[in-house]
Amino acid sequence: MRNGIGVTVVLGVMAVLGIAGRAGAADDAAAVDLLAYDWSHLDGAVVAADGVRVSGLGRAIVPPADMADTPPTANPPINLRGPVLTLAGDFALTARLRLGTDGPPQARLTLYGRLPVIQDEWRQPGEAVTLAVKGDMLRLVVQHVSGERETYTQAWRPADSVTLALVRRGERLTLSANGEPMIAMPAPPVLASKRLWPGLDTDVGHTFTLESLRLRPLGEAARVAVTPATLVSTPPAPGGLRALAARNAPHLAIGTAVATNPLLGDPAYARVLAREFSMVTPENAMKFQFIHPRPGRYAFAEADAIVDFAEHNGMAVHGHTLAWGEALPRWLSRGDYSDGELREILADHIATVVGRYKGRVAGWDVVNEPLEPFGPELRRDSPWYRAMGADYIAFALRAAHRADPDAALYINEFACEERNAKSDALYRLARGLLADGVPLDGIGFQLHEDLTDDYRPVTAAAFRDNVRRFIDLGLAVRISEMDVNLHDDASTARLQQQAAYYASMLALARDIPAFTAFSTWGFTDRYSSLQDWWNPDGLGNGLIFDPALRAKPAYDALRRVLAR
Contact 416, 374 (CB under 8 A): no
Q: Based on CB atoms, which residue is closest to ligand XIL, 123 or 134?
A: 123
CB-facing half-sphere around the CA of 358: CA atoms within 13 A:
13
- Cβ of residue 313: shortest distance to ligand XIL, in angstroms? 22
- Asked if the peptide bond before residue 321 counts as cis, ω within 30 degrees of 0, the response is yes
Decide: helix, strand or coil at residue 24.
coil
Q: Based on CB atoms, which residue is closest to ligand XIL, 278 or 520?
A: 520
Q: Based on CB atoms, which residue is closest to ligand XIL, 120 or 404?
A: 120
Helices (H), ranges, 298-338: 301-312, 330-333
Number of other residues whose CB lies within 10 A of the CB of residue 251: 14
Q: Based on CB atoms, which residue is closest to ligand XIL, 106 or 531?
A: 531
- Cβ of residue 281: shortest distance to ligand XIL, in angstroms? 9
Q: How far apart are alpha carbons 147 and 479 in whole angstroms?
A: 35
- Cβ of residue 392: shortest distance to ligand XIL, in angstroms? 17
Q: Based on CB atoms, which residue is closest to ligand XIL, 110 or 289?
A: 289
Please list, in sequence order, all residues whose beta carbon lies within 8 angstroms of the beta carbon of residue 282, skipping any fewer than 6 positions away: 257, 258, 260, 302, 303, 306, 317, 319, 320
Q: Of the listed 276, 283, 302, 369, which one is catalytic? A: 369
Q: What is the 8-class DSSP label of residue 100?
A: P
- C-alpha distances (whole Å) from 396 to each of 195, 343, 427, 515 are 42, 9, 18, 23
Q: Based on CB atoms, which residue is closest to ligand XIL, 123 or 139?
A: 123
Q: How far apart are alpha carbons 270 and 280 in whole angstroms?
A: 11
- Cβ of residue 123: shortest distance to ligand XIL, in angstroms? 9
**Angle between helical axes of 421-435 and 460-472 (0-180°, round to 10):** 20
Helices (H), ranges, 383-476: 383-388, 391-403, 421-435, 460-472
- Cβ of residue 160: shortest distance to ligand XIL, in angstroms? 41
Instruction: Read off φ and ψ for residue 182, nearest 5 degrees.
Output: -120, -45
Q: Is 481 a catalytic residue?
A: yes
- Cβ of residue 371: shortest distance to ligand XIL, in angstroms? 12
- Cβ of residue 178: shortest distance to ligand XIL, in angstroms? 42
Q: Based on CB atoms, which residue is closest to ligand XIL, 83 or 255?
A: 255
Number of other residues whose CB lies within 10 A of the CB of residue 538: 13
**Angle between helical axes of 241-248 and 267-276 (0-180°, round to 10):** 10
Q: How far apart are alpha carbons 294 and 193 in whole angstroms?
A: 33
Q: Is 150 a catalytic residue?
A: no
**DSSP H or E run through 74:** strand 73-74
- Cβ of residue 521: shortest distance to ligand XIL, in angstroms? 6
- C-alpha distances (whole Å) from 255 to each of 54, 273, 506, 540 are 35, 9, 12, 20
Output b/e per residue, 317-334; b: 16+ Cβ within 10 A. Answer: bbbbbbbbbbbbbebbbe
Closest CA to 248 of 536, 531, 509: 509
- Cβ of residue 543: shortest distance to ligand XIL, in angstroms? 11
Q: Based on CB atoms, which residue is closest to ligand XIL, 412 or 516?
A: 412
**DSSP H or E run through 95:** strand 91-99
Q: Based on CB atoms, which residue is closest to ligand XIL, 219 or 547?
A: 547
Interface residues with ligand XIL (CB under 6 A) are 119-121, 283-284, 368, 412, 446, 481, 521, 529
Amino acid code (one letter) for 89: G
Q: Based on CB atoms, which residue is closest to ligand XIL, 39 or 527?
A: 527
- C-alpha distances (whole Å) from 90 to each of 100, 143, 517 are 31, 21, 51
Q: How far apart are alpha carbons 217 and 429 in whole angstroms?
A: 64
- Cβ of residue 239: shortest distance to ligand XIL, in angstroms? 29
The catalytic residues are: 369, 481
